[in-house]
Amino acid sequence: MLRKSFILMALLLWLNITGRGTTDSLSITITIAPGVGNANEQVPVTFAVTQPYPNPFNPSTRFTIALPQKSDVQIKVYNLRGQRVAELANGEFSAGYHTITWQSDRAPSGVYLIRVQSEFGVRLTKVLLLK
């Protein structure tokens, strides 16, 4: 809210200094660009994947995916050699927020890439497993 007030005051000051308007007849519309939204909303605005937490981790880490519409989703974990070490999801997800947990009981310590693919794009995130 403070940022909106500052922008409005700066705009009013600029208009008065340049003579392009007066404050009694000025109409201003401020549009805030849509973002991912927050977990309290029913349906997110865009496709997103949060950073896994905790990271580094042992033995499990979790992250949230945000889907604006129903979508087929594939979530796979790869080691740095490009070998798939786990498939966390492969199917249709409803619109909304979904929390995914990777329980890495059999994987050795190392860096892994989590690949989330949906109809809205692909997101890749890096995690570090320490045992």
Predicted confidence (pLDDT) per residue in 83-125, tens digit: 999 999 999 999 999 999 999 988 999 999 999 999 999 999 9
CB atoms near residue 48 (< 10 Å): 19
Provide the 3-class DSSP secondary structure of residue 13. helix
Fold annotation for 48-129: Immunoglobulin-like (2.60.40)
CB atoms near residue 36 (< 10 Å): 17
Burial 14-31 (b: 16+ CB within 10 A, else e): eeeeeeeeeeeeeeeeee
Whether omega for the bond prior to residue 59 falls within 30 degrees of 0, making it cis, is yes
Q: pLDDT at position 2, please?
A: 46
Classify residue 50 as exposed, middle or buried by CB count within 10 Å of its CB (0-12, 13-18, 19+). Answer: middle
Q: Where are the domains of the chain?
A: 1-32, 48-129
